[in-house]
Structure 1
Amino acid sequence: MSAPLSLVVSDFTLPFANHYLRCRTLRQPVAAADGRPWLVFLHDSLGSIRLWRELPAQLAAALGCHALVYDRRGYGESAPFGPEPRTPAYLEQEARTVPAVLAACGIRRAVLLGHSDGGTLALLVAAAEPALVAAAVTVGAHVFVEKETVRGIQAARQQYATTELPQRLARYHGANTEGLFRAWTDTWLAPDFRSWNIEHYLPRVQCPLLVVQGAADEYGTPAQVAAIARQVAGPVRTALLPGLGHTPHREAPELVLELVVEFLSHIASGA
Structure 2
Amino acid sequence: MQNPATTAFVSDFAELPATASHGPLRIEYRWVNEAAGNAPIAVFLHEGLGSVAMWRDWPQALCERLGMRGLVYSRPGYGLSTPREHAVKWPVDFMTAQARDILPALFGVLDIDMQARKRMWVIGHSDGGSIALLYAALHPDALAGAVVIAPHIFVEDLSVESIAQTKALYETTDLRSKLSRYHSDVDSAFYGWNDIWLNAAFREWRIVDELAAIKQALLAVQGHDDNYGTMAQIDTIGERVPHAQLVKLDACGHSPHRDAPDALNEAIAAFISRQRR
Q: TM-score, normalised by structure 2?
A: 0.88
Distance across 2 between alignment mates of 1:248 and 1:66: 21
Distance across 1 between alignment mates of 2:54 and 2:192: 19
| Residue 95 (structure 1) aligned with residue 95 (structure 2) | no
Give 1:261's aligned residue: 269
Distance across 1 between alignment mates of 2:89 and 2:226: 29
Q: Give the partner amino acid of 2:105.
A: A
Q: Structure 2: which 5+ runs fail to align?
A: 1-8, 18-23
Q: Any conservation in 2 of the 1:28–1:64 contact (CA below 8 Å)?
A: no
Q: Give the partner amino acid of 1:155.
A: Q
Instruction: Tell me the SS of whatever aligns to 1:41.
Output: strand
Q: How far 1:247 moved relative to its partner? A: 0.6
Give 2:45's aligned residue: 42
Q: How far 1:266 moved relative to its partner? A: 4.1
Give 1:104's aligned residue: 109
Q: Structure 1: which 5+ runs fail to align?
A: 1-8
Root mean square deviation of aligned Cα: 1.6
Q: Give the partner amino acid of 1:99.
A: P
Alignment of 1:1-271 (within 5 A): 11-17=11-17, 18-29=24-35, 33-34=37-38, 36-81=39-84, 84-96=88-100, 97-107=102-112, 108-109=116-117, 110-174=120-184, 176-232=185-241, 235-267=243-275, 270-271=276-277
Distance across 2 between alignment mates of 1:51 and 1:214: 20
Between stretches 129-138 and 10-19, larger displacement belongs to 10-19
Instruction: Tell me the SS of whatever aligns to 1:87.
Output: coil
Distance across 1 between alignment mates of 2:35 and 2:128: 28
Instruction: Tell me the SS of whatever aligns to 1:29.
Output: helix
Distance across 1 between alignment mates of 2:187 and 2:89: 15
Q: Give the partner amino acid of 1:184.
A: W
Distance across 2 between alignment mates of 1:135 and 1:95: 15
Sequence identity (%): 36
Q: How far 1:19 moved relative to its partner? A: 1.3
Deviations 1:216-270 (A, max 9, x none): 111111100111111026x211111122111111011121111111111244xx4
Q: How far 1:42 moved relative to its partner? A: 0.3
Distance across 2 between alignment mates of 1:173 and 1:13: 15
Distance across 1 between alignment mates of 2:10 and 2:188: 27
How many residue pairs match? The answer is 256
Q: Give the partner amino acid of 2:90.
A: R
